[in-house]
Amino acid sequence: MQIFLNDRIVPEHEAMVSVFDHGFLYGDGIYETMRSYDGIVFMLDRHIERLNRSASLIHLTVPSPDNIHDAVYETVRANGLKSAYVRVTVSRGKGPIGLDPALCPKPTFVVIAEEFREYPEKYYNEGVKFIIAKTRRNLREALDPKIKSLNFLNNILAKIEAKKQGAYEAVMLNAEGLIAEGTVCNIFFVRNNILCTPSVDTGVLDGITRELVLGLAKGTGMQVWEGNFLPEDLFSASEVFFTNTTSEVMPVSQIGDVKYAVGEVAKRLRRLYRERVRKAVMDDA
């Protein structure tokens, strides 16, 4: 594998980051993940825009948008990939032990691109199991959810809960007990023919796939409600699904003891999402 490290492509065995890097020591950094379809990185500009937003919120310097764009495509091409998982990471960089960001004179910039491994079609045909995690989502007043941070321990603890219960994913609640998001995804559900999803005010990351799916749903004339919801609202839903960059639109078959059929809304929105991807690939070809 070829890795883009700071300013050049290097072989994986040369892609070394210092043990004094503050991303490693403190989780001080940000990242974005994206997918390449037929060599075209989908919604790359939007991901770069959000990376810059995260960087601004933690006072971190990142390469220019053009340099990030070029580094991403250089990494995809260097690995000979068409269908790829791409991750861009920027940490505070190497510096002495201590929390002061001024200790790190230069950020560390990394781009990884590897072959995308498709999810089993069974997941889309039958759905996946979720639980309601006991681990609560970080307070938005403590850590702004607009920051896509390297520190994922909160989410990891919820993921551990899910795995212990034989589930694929976990729904995380906020401190008020409202539905927030999954460990790596945004939650959607349908009640009374209304597509519902937690508002960003509940402390969720405003996912790029979430944003696109909301637009696709509105484009079909479907009523959409971004609001505050309790677990009971999920349990009374006719269908549930989640979104993220890699899974796109994936149905949920069960949350706790409540089971759901794979619904027509999820199927339709996945189809529309794929059509948008195909259009983007054709436009950029």
CA atoms within 13 A on the CB side of 26: 18
pLDDT digits (tens, 9 = 90+) for 155-194: 999 999 999 999 999 999 999 999 999 999 999 999 999 9
pLDDT digits (tens, 9 = 90+) for 68-105: 999 999 999 999 999 999 999 999 999 999 999 999 99
The Cα angle at residue 213 between residues 223 and 112, in degrees rounded to 5? 165
Q: What is the mean pLDDT of residues 238-264?
A: 96
Q: Which one from 82, 106, 134, 148 is the annotated catalytic residue?
A: 148
Give the confidence band of 50 by pLDDT, cuts at 50, 70, 90.
Answer: very high
Q: What is the mean pLDDT of residues 253-260?
A: 95
Give the confidence band of 281 by pLDDT, cuts at 50, 70, 90.
Answer: confident
Domains and CATH numbers, the chain: 2-115 (3.30.470.10), 121-282 (3.20.10.10)
Other CB atoms within a 10 A radius of the CB of residue 107 amount to 24
Are the beta carbons of 180 and 204 closer than 8 angstroms? Answer: yes
C-alpha 176/C-alpha 164 separation (Å) is 25
If you search the block for the tokens 């307070």, which residue do you land on?
Answer: 139
Q: What is the mean pLDDT of residues 46-71?
A: 97
Q: Is 148 a catalytic residue?
A: yes
Threshold 0.75, pTM exceeds: yes
**Single-letter code of the amino acid located at 146:** K
